[in-house]
Structure 1
Amino acid sequence: MENFESVVRAEFGPKNTFLNTASSGLLPARTVAALSEAARVRAEGRPLTSLHTDVEESRAAFARLAGVPVTRVAAGPSVAAHTALIAASLPAGAEVLTAEDDFASVVNPFHVRGDLKVRAVPLERLAESVRPGTALVAVSAAQSADGRIADLGAVREAARTHGARTCVDWSQAAGWLPLAADDFDYTVSICFKWLLGPHGAAFLVVPEDFGGLTPLLAGWVAGERPWDSCYGPVTELAHSARRFDVSPALFSYAGLRHSLALVEELGVDAVHAHDLALADRFRAGLASLGREPLPAPGSAIVSVPGLGRLQPELSRAGIEVSDRAGNLRASFHLYNTTADVDRLLDVLSG
């Protein structure tokens, strides 16, 4: 733990009490330096070879975190872009099962198809609601609004029983909650929250057989030999999940490569223990104030009903949290300390 703390201190120096990783994570110092270097590469007219290498190194790092071969990982700009590919692969009339009030990027691509049967149920009833004829279950591993963690094991088993595929969004979990993408058909995640990267990079994990997806967004980077695929139709799509790539925002991956390296260096298990200890400290402090957060056991995200209105006041006091549907949402990550938790509790008690 001492090494954990020393590494974190060297990478982060927030000027406020930042408890808002569920909105966007802080950038490590190594990532800021890499972004500056990427800008110099462009400004000085140097070849972009190193920036394209950063995309592949980021893809490989995410594959390691997800526990899958790199050949199953596609790179793109957002979760919505990835879930739209999955939505497009379904036949008309297919049933998609979702959790009520899940994040829009997870569910909206299925709704806008217009010819799918999208059924939403309470998160705690998701597994029991899979039925014969359900084609896909799509859900966030951790809910954005309140941090509740889906019973992914139960969802996986129910889906297998009824022949349904699964799509899990790890945007609010990857980086602090151990990820085993091989347990699901499709895994999606952005990287600017708990994975500490810049905006503009996201990953999609697909099955070995590509899960019936068509690379509708394929450009030259989707070719087996990208630089030979710049003109006219791509004659040979990548033999790997790279066929689903969208032309990368190179600066984002130049920074992300180093953010993912930091997460790997610290270890998700250690980050998980650190984050949950702080979240539980906050929950205990709330109890002493006579406040009860929304139930989200085992989550690094804590939402307190009725206190969202305090967000502007807290921000003026140098404490960054979110207002979500009237709830005060605090989220705890590796750069946070017990002093951060206690400061928020002190202000709330005041």
Structure 2
Amino acid sequence: METPLGGDEFAPVSTYLNTASCGLVPRRAVAAVRELAEDTAAGNERTGGSLASTAAVRESFARLVGVAADRVAMAGSVAGFSGLIAASLPPGAEVLFPERDFASVITPFSARPDLRLRFAPLDGLADAVRPGTALVALSAVQSADGRVADLAAVREAASAHGARILLDATQAAGWLPLDAGAYDYTVTSAYKFLLSPRGVSFLTVREDAQESLRPLAPGLFAAETRDEMYGALTLARSARRFDEPPSFLAYHAAERSLALVEEIGLPALHAHATGLAARFRAGLAGLGHTPVPGDSAIVAVPGLGAAQPVLGRAGVMVSVTDGHLRAAFHLYNSAADVDRALEVLAAAG
């Protein structure tokens, strides 16, 4: 029977199948927060936080998504980075989205009434790109139902029509191997499959797209050197010009969480998570339920949302999205977790 990959790094008190809402933080990351908090309370050398830790987070994430570290910016939220990209577009620009993508993908653009927003079904998104489309913005993996976008088709269509691509990798990074350098921009929150606390988010910018963006609120962390503290700053030549001040407690934790993801490796994580998800889909079909098909770590079952309280009372943590029952599998899950969820659903009828 397939066992968790995380060893003794995790200590869930439930059958936790809800990583698509929030990932569990490993023990090593909890220890990092505790250590920094104690240092700050004592006034030790690391009081406040360590720039070495934030640099390590940038480098680790860059390796995970296949880009150079100077192509990565860091901040507290994906919406802020999406807003940066939305602010860069000229009035009247057309932005194409999948229907009912996650709000933080769409809302920064809908907040600009001078943009033209257009929507298409996810499986028809590539065909919907047309001359005049300025940007295609989409999630790599849909939050509501776990569907994985046909990213190769979207890239081909965008290239053919001169459109840029913004890819939200929040529900993908940490289990689905991605090449962030294949997209003009990617945004990723780390509190799901990257196992970090809230407050850690990333933007990658392809070098040829960097000048398309104008920093909205550059501060000390966006400067070329740390020596500049007074007067007008010289902005970093790299994507670091889009950095926001880090929440050091969150980033110290993320340093150790991302290190764990790297140690295990994305191929192993992908095989483990999708294997458990496939086992769950097969079990659901045996119970007469029809999950959304696909090869995703996230499994959604239309019309089964009412079963979430029953599962919760039995200690199985899942979520409800758009009426779907949604379960998500990651390194701390095992085949026993899948079977426990199926057992509860079978007993509930």
Q: TM-score, normalised on structure 1?
A: 0.96
Give the ranges of 4+ consecutive aligned residues of structure 1 lying more than 4 Å apart after TM superposition: none
Which one of the candidate residues 6, 12, 21 is aligned to 1:14? 12
In 2 relative to 1, CA 227–250 (structure 1 residues): closer, same or farther, beyond 3 Å? farther
Supply the AA of the counterpart residue of 2:304: L
Cα distance in 2 for residues equivalent to 1:92 and 1:264: 42
Contact 1:220-1:226 within 8 A present in 2 as well: yes
For residues 124-139 of structure 1, the aligned pairs below 5 Å read 124-139=123-138
Aligned with 1:336: secondary structure?
coil
CA RMSD after TM alignment: 1.5
- 1:129 CA displacement: 0.5
Deviations 1:178-216 (A, max 9, x none): 010111100110001001111101000001141410011
Cα distance in 2, alignment partners of residues 317 and 217 from structure 1: 47
Give the match's secondary structure for 1:243.
Answer: helix
Counterpart CA distance in 2 for 1:55 and 1:113 is 32
Equivalent residue, structure 1, for 2:224: 224
**1:23-78 deviations in whole A, cap 9, x for unaligned?**
00001111111111111121111234752211110000000011111011000111
Question: Is the 1:51–1:251 Cα contact (8 Å) retained in structure 2?
Answer: no
Kindly tell me the number of residue pairs found equivalent between the two proteins: 345
- 1:85 equivalent to 2:88? Answer no
- Counterpart residue type for residue 194 of structure 1: F
Please state whether the residue corresponding to 1:188 is helix, strand or coil. strand
Equivalent-residue separation in structure 2 for 1:11 and 1:227 (angstroms): 38
Equivalent of 1:335 in 321, 332, 335: 332
- Kindly state the Cα deviation for residue 168 of structure 1 after the two structures are TM-superposed: 0.3
- State the distance in 2 between where 1:57 and 1:132 align: 41
Change (3 A) 1:243 1:55: same
Q: Which amino acid aligns with 1:149?
A: V
Aligned counterparts of 1:133 and 1:291: Cα–Cα separation in 2 = 42
CA distance in 1, matches of 2:277, 2:323: 19
Looking at structure 1, the residues matched to 13 and 7 of structure 2 have their Cα atoms a distance apart, in angstroms, of 13
Aligned to 1:55: 54
Matched, 1:122 2:121: yes
Mark the CA change 1:48 to 1:243 in structure 2 (over 3 Å): closer, same or farther: farther
Local SS of the residue matching 1:333 = coil
Measured after TM superposition, the shift of residue 240 of structure 1 is 1.1
**Residue matched to 1:177:** 176
CA-to-partner distance for each residue in 1:288-308, whole Å, 9 max, x for gaps? 10100123x110101111221
Q: Are 1:345 and 2:318 counterparts?
A: no
User: 1:36-51 counterparts in 2 under 5 A?
Assistant: 36-48=34-46, 51=50
1:76 and 2:79 are equivalent in the alignment: no
Question: 1 CA distance for matches of 2:303 and 2:152?
Answer: 32
Report whether the alignment pairs 1:165 with 2:167. no
Equivalent residue, structure 1, for 2:267: 269
Percent identity between matched residues is 57
Q: SS state of the match for residue 50, structure 2?
A: helix
Deviation, structure 1 residue 220: 1.2
Report how far residue 96 of structure 1 moved.
Answer: 0.3
Alpha-carbon deviation of 1:225?
1.7
Equivalent in the alignment of 1:30:
28
Tell me the residue number matched to 2:245: 247
Unaligned runs of 5+ in 2: none
CA contact (8 A) 1:51 1:253 kept: no
Which residue, 305, 311, 323 being the options, matches 1:326? Answer: 323
Letter in 2 for 1:212: S
Structure 2: how far apart are the matches of 1:120 and 1:258? 39
TM-score normalised by structure 2 residue count:
0.96
Which consecutive residues of structure 1, in runs of 5 or more, have no partner in the other structure?
Answer: none
Matched with 1:259 is 257
- How far the C-alpha of 1:227 sits from its partner, in A, is 4.2
* Contact 1:217–1:245 under 8 Å retained in 2: no
SS of 2:45 mapped into structure 1: coil
- Partners of 1:282 and 1:243 in 2: how far apart? 44
Distance 1:201 1:56 in 2: 13
Q: Distance in 2 between matches of 1:290 and 1:15?
A: 29
1:304 — aligned with what? 301
Aligned to 2:278: 280
- In the TM superposition, what whole-angstrom CA distance separates every residue of 1:3-40 from its partner, at most 9, and x where no partner exists? x95x6122112111000000000011111111111111
Q: Partner of 2:212 in structure 1?
A: 212
**Which residue identity does 2:119 align to in structure 1?**
A
Partner secondary structure for residue 255 of structure 2: helix
Q: Which amino acid aligns with 1:218?
A: P
Say if 1:98 and 1:126, in contact at 8 Å, map to a contact too.
yes
Q: Offset at 1:233?
A: 2.6
Q: For 2:332 and 2:200, how far apart are their aligned partners in 1? A: 22
| Alignment-mate amino acid for residue 207 of structure 2 | E
